[in-house]
Structure 1
């Protein structure tokens, strides 16, 4: 449900370190926008509801404007983004949920055709299984976002629907918190999308994606089906690609939008056509295997696209319409790839075989916490050991890079991690631990919920 971003620019992580603060941009009074929206009030929202929740609304436009420009899918190197979202901790916790919610997931798959590993992977990447959901009032966030672009019917609908959800008692206003964009719940839905796709995991009627894991997973599955999910089709297969094919057919971001078409156009082709051009599975086996062989099957006539997000020297996948459904959930290749790879790990499939083309691989969250702990011991007392990127951690890394005589990036990768582990610098005692700030804890998950 995010759709704001489209994601990857494989840039330095330093941009992610920017705090969510107002910049120099100025905005017209929020009351001016509220007056305009009042004239467009839909029949489903009572005037008294509108007045009640806009009278003292918080103006989050500076936060929304800044956060939109610092989304991690576009700023982090893809190997950092993937490493932190598919680490052992997230896999282990996800497998526990798959086991504990086995009955609900089976029912959800029967009704919506989406497997449990995929919906749980969305849950894991979106909010770390419910741990990081955001703390902004959804009504204020959707109002502010609508006021940044009053020409957007979609943004206005999310705001009006947020009012309606509270008015009708679907959600409680004191619990209606979410990302800076207004996405809420365990799998981060924008209000308008939630109202359209909400699905209870049982026959109780009321849908609760704030407290009920099965309801959140059911709503996610229903939404993915609405985005074009095809039951029984893998999201992708890792492949080997001849150089000439890689150069011509690599499709990133919006270029694989052709996967929504029944007939191949643009950079999409039939699986059989890729096979004829020498594309094989990463282990050298043919793309189309006999039905008697177990494993992920690709029909020769299936519409597919080649995805090489780090270029010809990195890993490659032949992605299917199911990948495109995941991508449309948040419109970013890094995000969709993280969901796909995490879902593979949850179902016990083989991990990615081709390494990323870097000599400075990303850190897991556990390693990142160890890095932050080392920075604390070196006297960077503002650093919070929480496993999340933030401006204080980035500033501390830049300081240590400067001492090492390195180019200052502020990025926490394997090189600086290993260098600090080997450091003989004396330990510096910090006066007291600094409590984690909401922006630093929630920046990654909140930033991914732009358009649901």
Structure 2
């Protein structure tokens, strides 16, 4: 659960994960990851560097430090941040030992013992390769439906059902204690790490120490590094098992160290909160996370719905919450043909692929999943995978698979075109189509006499170019 610009700002990109996603799921956290493996969401949501990277030849470049590691490129980061220039990275790497030692007073205030701090940080070196990963620019763009195809596969559904049956007693106890649907917890386990087979193999302590001392997010990662020290000092997770993705997320459901502090629980009663090697702790901690993020017991995440002809898509807005009964009065009905079981519940309408694709009424529990990872494709995959493991069917309405997905450069241009015409996208153009950009698209579409569904299509960009 990477609550950084790994989990908090995921951007679509698919690389080597296309192969990893088809691997049959294996055991729990202790399953050995293949050499160089990371959480496959690092690949799927654009958290792996792109393009070929060659070793730096600049004198004074600090090597990555471990045999077989891909070295830092020696190049400035693409973000343009002053802390991501090659010179700044080299200078920060040279100061790395002092930077780590300067964090001792705060570690002491958190209860970390001096002997443990010294033992854990002795010989620690920065992994500068993370600078390339932090500023990676996605080179591929995948459509919303492609994410669903990859994440909600037949193999993952089958393995999820096996996991739920194998550990039924634990899931039942956790569901009773926290009120969180066991299928949702299993779905997060399946999507985050392919049921423990893709948890990552980087040292969390080294990754967070590197990012705390080098690069553009040092203040954020200082807290993550100190939290990792606390985990190890307490003995919750043994050092050799505290491994994960490049940004420090670890375990089958990918906790960041600070999230571990907030949400991890000792469900098996052994005195340790071990989300890596204890299945009860891992399942319960994930459920506790969702509960504290607002999960409402006994309610679903949402419904696939059919939108009637002539519907005003300006109402498809994450800020417009209405009761299911009110949506039904507007002609919205469930794609399954069934009635809404709780008509007084409130929801908002999401049309992720525009009027030509499926539509969904999203409940508060969808928002709880979004807090785990604020990417709509991710949250929909979790909800849909949970439903499929429960015995539900596939999404009924077809996706517009003939649509060409815009490249990053085209999304940037689309935003520029909107801004040039006076439509507020909420920020400078950045190539990311979020809620504010979709709202601007809707306003342009309405002004142009088009159905205002907010979908950033190639045809829409052509229309903007021609005006």
TMscore range, shorter length: 0.5 to 0.7
| 8 Å Cα contact 1:2-1:328 kept in structure 2 | no
Distance verdict in 2 for CA 1:19–1:196, change over 3 Å: farther
> CA contact under 8 A between 2:49 and 2:136: conserved in structure 1?
no
2:331 to 275, 278, 297: 278
Aligned partner (choices 160, 164, 173) of residue 98 of structure 1: 164
**Which among 122, 146, 167 is matched to residue 80 of structure 1?**
146
Aligned to 1:63: 130
CA distance in 2, matches of 1:349, 1:131: 25
Distance in 2 separating the partners of 1:45 and 1:102: 37
Q: CA deviation at 1:109?
A: 0.4
Match of 1:141 among 194, 202, 207: 207
SS of the aligned residue for 1:312 comes to helix
**Kept after mapping to 2: 8 A contact 1:101/1:214:** no
Report what 1:123 is aligned to: 189
The match for 2:50 among 18, 22, 43 is: 18
**SS of the residue aligned with 1:29?**
helix
Q: Map of 1:315-394 to 2, 5 A cutoff?
A: 315-359=358-402
CA distance in 1, matches of 2:272, 2:259: 16
- Distance in 1 separating the partners of 2:14 and 2:193: 23
Cα deviation for residue 272 of structure 1 reads 2.9
Aligned with residue 53 of structure 1, among 120, 128, 131: 120
- Cα 1:55/1:215, change in 2 over 3 Å: same
Q: Is the 1:166–1:173 contact (alpha carbons within 8 Å) kept by the matching residues of 2? A: yes
Instruction: Report what 2:69 is aligned to.
Output: none
In the alignment, which residue of structure 2 is the partner of 1:305? 348
Q: Quick check: 1:269–1:303 contact (8 Å CA) kept in 2?
A: yes
Deviation at 1:241, TM superposition (A): 1.8
Q: RCO (CA 8 Å, sep 6+): is it higher in 1 or 2?
A: 1
Decide whether aligned partners of structure 1 residues 13 and 78 sit closer, same or farther in structure 2, where only a CA change above 3 A counts: farther
Matched position secondary structure for 1:207: coil
Describe the shift of the 1:333–1:33 C-alpha distance in structure 2 as closer, same or farther (beyond 3 A). farther
- Name the SS of the counterpart of 1:267 in structure 2: coil
What TM-score do you get using the length of structure 2 for normalisation? 0.65
Question: 1:29 aligned to 85, 92, 96, which one?
Answer: 92
Task: Please list every run of 5 or more consecutive structure 1 residues that lacks an aligned counterpart in the other structure.
Answer: 257-265, 289-296, 363-452
- Relative to structure 1, the CA distance from residue 29 to residue 10 in structure 2 (aligned partners, 3 Å threshold; closer, same or farther) is closer
| Aligned 8 A contact 1:138 1:184 in 2 | yes
State the aligned residue count: 337
User: 2:4 is matched with which residue?
Assistant: 4
TM-score calculated relative to the size of structure 1: 0.67
Give the 5 Å matches for 1:144-163: 144-147=210-213, 148-149=215-216, 152=219, 154-163=220-229
SS in 1 for 2:103: helix
Instruction: Name the CA distance, whole Å, in 2 between partners of 1:12 and 1:165.
Output: 32
2:276 corresponds to which residue? Answer: 210
Structure 1 residues 7, 191: CA separation in 2 closer, same or farther (over 3 Å shift)? Answer: closer
Question: Which residue pairs with 2:357 in the alignment?
Answer: 314
Cα distance 1:309–1:111, how it changes in 2: closer, same or farther (>3 A)?
Answer: same
Unaligned runs of 5+ in 2: 17-45, 54-71, 77-85, 406-467
